Structure 1
Amino acid sequence: MMTPKQKAYLMLIYSEAIFKTMTTTYREQIRIALDKSWQWLESQSVSADELYSDLDDGTELHGLYIYMQMDSNEDNVLKWDNLSYALSYVVKLAYDKEGADYLPEPIENVSDEIFDLFVENLQALNPNYNTCLHQVDNFVQKQEVITKEEAIKELSVFGL
């Protein structure tokens, strides 16, 4: 049984593979959000509010939740879904760790079901993702802390 942190690692590892395949004008914003999520998992040196602001900055102009709606590339729909699942899951973990009394509305309903949806989408995104799922799962469960660099290295070992 995977812990919530291990689930977050698995989702971020696959998010790196998904990110590599995305063609969108919002790549820089995605990269920033992924990097902050990795930073939180590695050292908790980013606040939950800061992580959340990359998803939704409180305006109708910025934030990954807005960008995913504005992206007209149909090939990115499931990719955006999985990125938002992974990043939202990390944000939820951060708020839980901080003992937050209040959660932003989009984060309130984040649960382990989001992990299940993420995994279900992998097959539709790329059959090779599911082929390596057991190996990635084993990698995640053997590590206490995984850095972004280690994750990217493992992705290349798995051919992702």
Structure 2
Amino acid sequence: GDVCRTPLTAERREAETRYSSNASSAAKQLSSAEGHLNKLAVDPALTEAEAALKDFRHSSDAVGCAESVRVISKAQQIKAFLSDDEDARSLQPEVMVTQELEKAKASSDRAAQAILYLALCEILSFGTADKGAPSRAMRDKALEAGNEAADLFQGLAETRMQA
């Protein structure tokens, strides 16, 4: 029975421990970022979410990356709305989400795609700081992204996210 089992080498064990540690640290950073965002503490939210994204990328965790990008884009959007600075107000967080979505599509990661479609829906339905409320075209695009997210979550049997 044990003949086909690959022995756990010290190097492999160390790599798995490091991955687990990075993922755990990144998850804590992301949770902290979401907490900051809920309090509208945008700069600390961005710092934590960007650090989490770096760690998730290092450990090749596409879903963690997608969640991090979702938080970063939402923080950027809030920052743009709260800012008097024209450069900050013209930030377009949907660009970052769209780029990450293309990566998720290329790797066929349906969970990451679903999270990113949801992020896109949230961003587009909120409008932009420089233009105000979303246009009809933006709302239509938001609805389309929301439907894509719902379909993907349904296919993944993510009942808590389908709502």
- TM-score of Structure 1 vs Structure 2, range by shorter chain: 0.3 to 0.5
Q: Which has the higher contact order (CA 8 A, sep 6+)?
A: 1
TM-score normalised according to structure 1 size: 0.43
